Structure 1
Amino acid sequence: MADPGVPPMPSPATVSYPAASYSLPTGVEVFRTYTGAFICLEIIFGGLVWILVAASNVPVPVVQGWVMFVSVTAFVCSLLYLCVFLCGLVNMIQTNWNFVDLAYHFFTFVFYFGAFVLQAAVTSLANLEKNSTSILRLDNRRIGLNVAATIFAFAVTACYGCSTLLGFRRWRGQ
């Protein structure tokens, strides 16, 4: 005979798995959150970094190739991530969306921080060697494009950092 205060053991056939956990709204309501706003800024600023580096004709292909890879990849992934929430796919995919949000933004922040440092190095090198005889000779237009790309790379890095902190707060508060 079972104890009167202990519930009976459920059969394995009746055990259900927990639903997906997320604290962000779906549909257009995602734009009313800070995370949704930061994702939009990440897409806009990341697209600007991509355009500005490409417009400068990539004077240092090895370094700026990485900047282009990070900016294009992060742009596409952020766009897909936003579409997942806009279309309501978070209700259909069983996963911990708070952890996915934290992990995505953390890794993207790390990669974008590296791209920002490399872009800043190319920009400062171009300014430093402007008056010397060097392989990296840029006119004022290309230097301006690289400076603008560096500023927007910093802005998008800061946006990914803020999204990482917001994701950490949501993940910790589950």
Structure 2
Amino acid sequence: MVETGVPPVPSPAAVNYPAPAVTLPSGLEVLRTYSGAFMCLEIIFGGLVWILVAASNVPVPVVQGWVMFVSVTAFVCSILLLLVFIGGFTHVVNTNWNFVDLAYHFFALVFYFGAFVLEAAITSLANQIRENNGNTTLGLDNRSLGLNVAATIFAFTATICYGCSMMLAFRRWRS
């Protein structure tokens, strides 16, 4: 027989281990923090990389396809993470948002660093034309070369922003 009016006994795990607190503010106040500012810079510079690589002639489609994949994926995920913090979903969904922020920025940093290195390598080799049986493997005009140089610079800047965000997330997660 069930007793009425008596609350159920809570689980010992729920009593001893409270949900981790998010140290970032919610709402538009997140934009006034260093983390929010770096996330906005990640979105801006990632969008610029995306636009510049898409506008340039692609000398090596596989490499610049990877750069496009990383820049588009990181752009979309950064917007979603920023919207989670702005929308206040960190108080609705019970998870360790400090760790989620740290893990996302770690993986984004690793992938963006790889994309930056590949973009820099392709840009530096762009004017070295080799002919194998009459086929030119690399060669860009000055406009496309300038777009690739700018994409390399903005990819480096986005990589630095992801690194700074990761360090800030690590400090929040550790404390």
Instruction: Check whether TM > 0.5.
Output: yes
C-alpha distance in structure 2 between counterparts of 1:62 and 1:147, whole Å: 18
Correspondence 1:92-103 to 2 at 5 A: 92-103=92-103
C-alpha distance in structure 1 between counterparts of 2:164 and 2:86, whole Å: 21
C-alpha distance in structure 1 between counterparts of 2:90 and 2:53, whole Å: 34
In the alignment, which of 135, 147, 160 is matched to residue 158 of structure 1? 160
Q: Which residue matches 1:5?
A: none
**Deviation at residue 21 of structure 1 after TM alignment:** 1.7
C-alpha distance in structure 2 between counterparts of 1:123 and 1:13, whole Å: 59
**Structure 1: runs of 5+ lacking an equivalent:** 1-9
**Deviation at residue 137 of structure 1 after TM alignment:** 1.5
C-alpha distance in structure 1 between counterparts of 2:37 and 2:11, whole Å: 43
Q: Which residue matches 1:111?
A: 111
C-alpha distance in structure 2 between counterparts of 1:125 and 1:163, whole Å: 31
C-alpha distance in structure 1 between counterparts of 2:44 and 2:30, whole Å: 17
C-alpha distance in structure 1 between counterparts of 2:115 and 2:142, whole Å: 22
Closer/same/farther in 2, CA of residues 141 and 19 from structure 1, 3 Å limit: same
C-alpha distance in structure 2 between counterparts of 1:52 and 1:31, whole Å: 26
Is residue 58–residue 64 contact of structure 2 (8 Å, CA) maintained in 1? Answer: yes
Aligned residue type for 1:18: P
C-alpha distance in structure 1 between counterparts of 2:165 and 2:137, whole Å: 39
Moved over 4 A (4+): 13-17
Q: Which residue matches 1:167?
A: 169
C-alpha distance in structure 2 between counterparts of 1:43 and 1:12, whole Å: 43
C-alpha distance in structure 1 between counterparts of 2:11 and 2:32, whole Å: 41
Aligned residue type for 2:18: P
TM-score by length of 1: 0.87
Q: Does 1:80 align with 2:80?
A: yes
Is residue 20–residue 90 contact of structure 1 (8 Å, CA) maintained in 2? Answer: no
Is residue 45–residue 152 contact of structure 1 (8 Å, CA) maintained in 2? Answer: yes
**Deviation at residue 112 of structure 1 after TM alignment:** 0.3
What CA deviation, in whole Å up to 9, does each residue of 1:61-100 have, x standing for no partner? 0100000000000000000000001111111000111111
Is residue 23–residue 170 contact of structure 1 (8 Å, CA) maintained in 2? Answer: yes
**Structure 2: runs of 5+ lacking an equivalent:** 1-7
Correspondence 1:7-156 to 2 at 5 A: 11-12=9-10, 15-16=14-15, 18-127=18-127, 129=128, 134-156=136-158
C-alpha distance in structure 1 between counterparts of 2:10 and 2:79, whole Å: 40
TM-score by length of 2: 0.87
Closer/same/farther in 2, CA of residues 153 and 13 from structure 1, 3 Å limit: closer
How many residue pairs end up in the alignment? Answer: 162
RMSD across aligned C-alpha pairs, in angstroms? 1.8
Aligned residue type for 1:95: T
**Deviation at residue 38 of structure 1 after TM alignment:** 0.2
SS in 2 for 1:48: helix
